[in-house]
RNA sequence: GUCCCCAUCGUCUAGCGGUUAGGACACAGCUCUUUCAAGGCUGCGGCACGGGUUCGAUUCCCGUUGGGGACGCCA
């Protein structure tokens, strides 16, 4: 059997869409599983809308996802000769004809047909031109597009997921192959490229099913080998329609910026429309590659479930070791302007271990951990009412200040011992000491184990913050 | 409107003629606990409908309904 060659062919008219990332991933897994090649091709034949910036974003997104390519990126804009040649050949052999219709002319006729309640299909106006008319148009210097003359008959293919899909050619209009500006259209460029790149399996979204017969017609006209087609179900928005910009976040870079881990994101994407038939949910890349199999693809579109993504992400964060996490977190701390020079690297790692138990997003390492690096600016309002403005908080904090001043080590068992002793001696509930302290030290009512976080806040800052809290309480009373 | 695709808990899914229809997320409750998470336990909840085929259909076939996609000189 010959080598498997697959590709992803994003269009640089926007960011890398999660749907594109999804098909990229499946193609990549398929190639890696079977020792094939994964090729990247940039489909930039739409010169009006394609930009270099988007090419960079797409490349960055793929890299972030850890989806590496073996060949490319190829740019369609650099392969015009191939298309030109193929078009010339097709025209010479009578598969194409020149269409001089303008957009407006077509639109006008289209409207009429639709108003009369019929389905529109290009009316072959230019196929039926007389020689005189053609000559007149040429003399006029009218630009023309090249259309494919769709023959009568039936076009069928065997989809790797859906089985046989057939379509009456009557349903297919004479589609444009080369635009009047000389650029090839998608359907044409794809065929030329997939063929010349030796693509054996075309795995793409099922929104391309309707393009496939057109492409097969072109393969046949060009006398080329037709690849295998596998049409993947789409990723759906909450309302089950195709996921789009309007319906939520679709750019891969946005997920990166929101604090998702690439491995978690890939894990989530992999499970959207494919299942390894096990009870497991968390898979390493290697496992995904080993388990990936077209037989276990789903045919129905899958709703992008943000809650599950979040859960998977938190699973990854919790099980990742601190050193690795540090690489992701450090830039975020820098960006937030945190001064972490008071901590040694080892301390920072232990700090990460402490925070990661409760983190769901990488941004949580900033949002719910600022008190390790910065002074407490404000207190949670509900917490103030509950833990500060009562009959015991002030006295307890005063007492704690005193007792904590007397110890030098702020290791968890030492500080905890201070609290336990007070509890023992006074018989009060530990919570009456712990909750006010937490609020004083962090400004929050939730967070890691108090004695563990206290270790990192340290004696000096702990005492200062208790003092500040006492002042706050006095002012509020 | 025409053509095409799809159909198991709210969501992602396992299932490939005989199962108490399994798991995960979410949700609810309990538990653990210095808070919040995490963890543990429990609960809620599903084969769209109607015909066949068969001793027997979630599973196979047909139809209905529902959802989605494509109908560009976008990709």
**Nucleotide closest to residue A165 (CA–C1'):** B4
Minimal CA–CA distance to A64: which of A238, A251, A244? A251
Q: Structure tokens of A157?
A: 């293919």
Supply the pLDDT for residue A1.
55
* Nearest protein residue to nucleotide B74, judged by CA and C1' positions: A46
Task: Band the pLDDT of A72: cuts 50, 70, 90.
Answer: confident
Per-residue burial over A266-285, b = 16 or more CB atoms within 10 Å of its CB, e = otherwise: bbbbbbbbbebeeeeeebeb
Provide the annotated active-site residues of A: 245
In this complex, the nucleotide whose C1' atom is nearest to the CA atom of residue A147 is B73
* The predicted structure's pLDDT at residue A68: 98
Under the banding of pLDDT at 50, 70 and 90, the label for residue A40 is very high
Nucleotide whose C1' lies closest to the alpha carbon of residue A46 = B74
In this predicted structure, the answer to whether residue A160 has a pLDDT above a threshold of 70 is yes
Which tens digits make up the pLDDT trace of A208-263?
Answer: 999 999 999 999 999 999 999 999 999 999 999 999 998 889 999 999 999 999 99
Note the strand B nucleotides within 7 A of protein beta carbons. 1-8, 10-15, 22-26, 34-38, 67-75
- Average model confidence (pLDDT) across chain A: 96
pLDDT at A188: 98
Give the integer Cα–Cα distance in Å for A403 and A466.
12
If you average pLDDT over residues A53-79, what whole number do you get? 97
Q: Please give the average per-residue pLDDT across A78-93, as a whole number.
A: 97
For the domain made up of A320-372, the CATH class stated in words is mainly alpha
Q: Is A245 annotated as a binding residue?
A: yes
**pLDDT tens for residues A436-462?**
999 999 999 999 999 999 999 999 999
CATH class of A381-476: mainly alpha
SS3 (DSSP) at A313: helix
Residue intervals in chain A for CATH 1.10.10.350? 381-476
Give backbone dihedrals phi and psi of A93, rounded to 5 degrees, phi first.
-85, 5
CA of A296 to C1' of B30 (A): 38
Judge residue A53's burial from the number of C-beta atoms within 10 Å of its C-beta, 0-12 exposed, 13-18 middle, 19 or more buried.
Answer: exposed
- Rounded Cα distance between A376 and A335, Å, is 19
Q: Name the CATH architecture for the domain at A82-178.
A: Alpha-Beta Complex (3.90)
What residue spans in chain A does CATH classification 3.90.800.10 cover? 82-178
- DSSP, res A251: B
Amino acid A320 CA to nucleotide B38 C1' distance, rounded Å = 15
How far is it, in rounded angstroms, from Cα A447 to Cα A441?
11
Q: Could you report the per-residue pLDDT of A89-145, keeping only the tens digit for each?
A: 999 999 999 999 999 999 999 999 988 888 899 999 999 999 999 999 999 999 999
The pLDDT of residue A248 is: 87
Band (pLDDT 50/70/90 cuts) for residue A276 is very high
For A310 and B28, how far is CA from C1' in angstroms?
A: 20
């Amino acid at each position: 059997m010959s080598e498997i060659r697959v590709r992803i062919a994003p269009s640089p008219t926007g960011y890398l869409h999660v749907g594109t990332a999804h098909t990229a991933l499946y193609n990549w897994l398929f190639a890696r599983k079977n020792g094939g090649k994964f090729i990247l091709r940039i489909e930039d034949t739409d010169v009006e809308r394609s930009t270099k910036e988007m090419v960079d974003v797409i490349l960055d997104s793929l890299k972030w996802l850890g989806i590496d390519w073996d060949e490319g990126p190829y740019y369609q804009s650099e392969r015009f000769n191939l298309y030109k040649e193929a078009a010339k050949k097709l025209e010479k052999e009578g598969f194409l004809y020149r269409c001089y219709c303008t957009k407006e002319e077509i639109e006008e006729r289209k409207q009429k047909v639709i108003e009369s309640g019929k389905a529109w299909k290009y009316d072959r106006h230019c196929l039926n031109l007389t020689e005189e008319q053609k000559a007149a148009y040429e003399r006029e210097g009218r630009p023309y597009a090249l259309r494919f003359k769709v023959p009568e008959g039936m076009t069928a293919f065997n989809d790797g997921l859906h089985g046989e899909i057939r379509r009456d050619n009557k349903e297919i209009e004479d589609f444009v192959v080369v635009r009047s500006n000389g650029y090839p259209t998608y359907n044409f460029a794809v065929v030329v490229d997939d063929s010349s790149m030796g693509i054996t399996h075309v795995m793409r979204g099922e929104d391309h099913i309707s393009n496939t017969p057109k492409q097969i017609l072109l393969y046949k006209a060009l006398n080329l080998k037709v690849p295998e087609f596998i049409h993947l179900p789409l990723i759906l928005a909450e309302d089950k329609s195709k996921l789009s910009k309007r319906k939520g976040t679709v750019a891969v870079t946005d997920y990166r910026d929101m604090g998702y881990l690439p491995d978690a994101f890939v894990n989530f994407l992999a499970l959207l429309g494919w299942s390894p038939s096990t009870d497991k949910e968390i898979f390493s890349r290697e496992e995904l590659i080993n388990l990936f199999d077209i037989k276990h693809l789903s045919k129905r579109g899958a709703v992008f479930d943000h809650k599950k993504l979040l859960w998977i992400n938190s699973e990854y964060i919790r099980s990742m070791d601190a050193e690795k996490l540090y690489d992701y977190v450090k830039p975020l701390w820098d960006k937030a302007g945190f001064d972490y020079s008071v901590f040694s690297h080892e301390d920072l790692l232990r700090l990460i271990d402490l925070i990661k138990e409760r983190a769901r997003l990488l941004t949580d390492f900033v949002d719910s951990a600022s008190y390790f690096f910065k002074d407490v600016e404000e207190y949670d309002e509900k917490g103030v009412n509950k833990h500060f403005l009562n009959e015991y908080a002030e006295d307890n904090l005063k007492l704690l200040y005193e007792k904590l001043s007397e110890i030098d080590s702020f290791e968890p068992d030492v500080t905890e011992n201070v609290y336990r002793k007070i509890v023992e001696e006074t018989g009060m509930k530990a919570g009456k000491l712990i909750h006010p302290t937490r609020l004083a030290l962090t400004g929050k009512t939730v967070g890691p184990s108090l004695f563990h976080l206290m270790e990192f806040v340290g004696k000096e800052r702990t005492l200062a913050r208790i003092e500040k809290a006492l002042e706050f309480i006095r002012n509020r009373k």
